[in-house]
Structure 1
């Protein structure tokens, strides 16, 4: 199962009932926080300043949503880019129910997984892959990045080999560059695009899709007729 979110607030009322069907006190989570910019996190000390349990500035925001479902902190394990190996991840995944990817830069996450030889283990994982923002984008085998304040131009990207028939546009605003990017991607690939904004998620399981909250299928371009509608 793949869970694609716009943000990390899945513990709130709009999503809690649905997510409580697969997150509870027995759930074991492996967090892979690889979406950081290299100018912001350059070494292990800076990584720990972000994600360490004691003083990490992002730790609470990542962990708290799971705690609302009764997950024990002891059941939330972390993959450290500067310390963890492919063997470490492989061992973790033997007792993992959910792999969790955080927001940031999706292409950097994929590049780091490739660099550390972790892609094969992730692609072979049979549990739940869950992520928000960048962690949602990169779950599709083919995805795109629309221009924004961090990415200056449209680009096509290669993600995980888990979703092959659709992509998501996170932080959807209806802006011209997003619309142009979605239309281009649909024209080039024929794949569907689903828009995510605040309080929205897509759950994909066994070829079935469930749109939650504000998630919608984008219908601005119809590749069959090659016209804007």
Structure 2
């Protein structure tokens, strides 16, 4: 993929969309004919998305300034995070799996998540930044869900730690973010959304905190989503954009 070429980006999108469709079980290139969905799709498609992001961002970042992001630097972790349904279900499963072990160390991630959701629900991006409330999953500067963090987090990388700290404190507005990280994240996420749409699954973006609370409170949420429903609808953030996005997917997908 050539980041300076629209043709290269479109070709990457089409190839990755087709790869996601194969993983998701879309069996026809001309119609949305699919095989029954099961829970294994969530993990399979997210591992594919993460691998695609990491591999391609490494290639596209060659010759770029080094990334300043590192363990113990959560400066950007007050931003609103959006995620797709498979990302939400992966994080929810991880929280359920690790909750007991973390509680034995005095860490209640799910409780903190609920507190953050109560404080941030309904806020837009600017309001969320102004609140300066730290992500529920950061403890002593470390992201405790780093292994399953959403693409939005993976694609948000900076070349300047000091600028991030100043921005988090509200003293500057500009941060030198990595263009390759943003571009690859956008292309991988869009290809995944296009694949989910072809699969007949809800493909929109959700505010992470509230979507996670919904998924954790409803033990049937993942199964419901796999059947074509939208159990996370109350956390959706992109309803007004979906028609235009779908048209863009169709135009780029041939």
Structures share fold, TM-score greater than 0.5: no
TM interval, short-chain normalised: under 0.3
Larger relative contact order (C-alpha < 8 A, sep ≥ 6)?
2
Relative to total residues, which structure has the larger helix share, 1 or 2?
Answer: 2
Relative to total residues, which structure has the larger strand share, 1 or 2?
Answer: 1
TM-score between both structures, scaled by the size of structure 1: 0.26
Larger Rg: 2
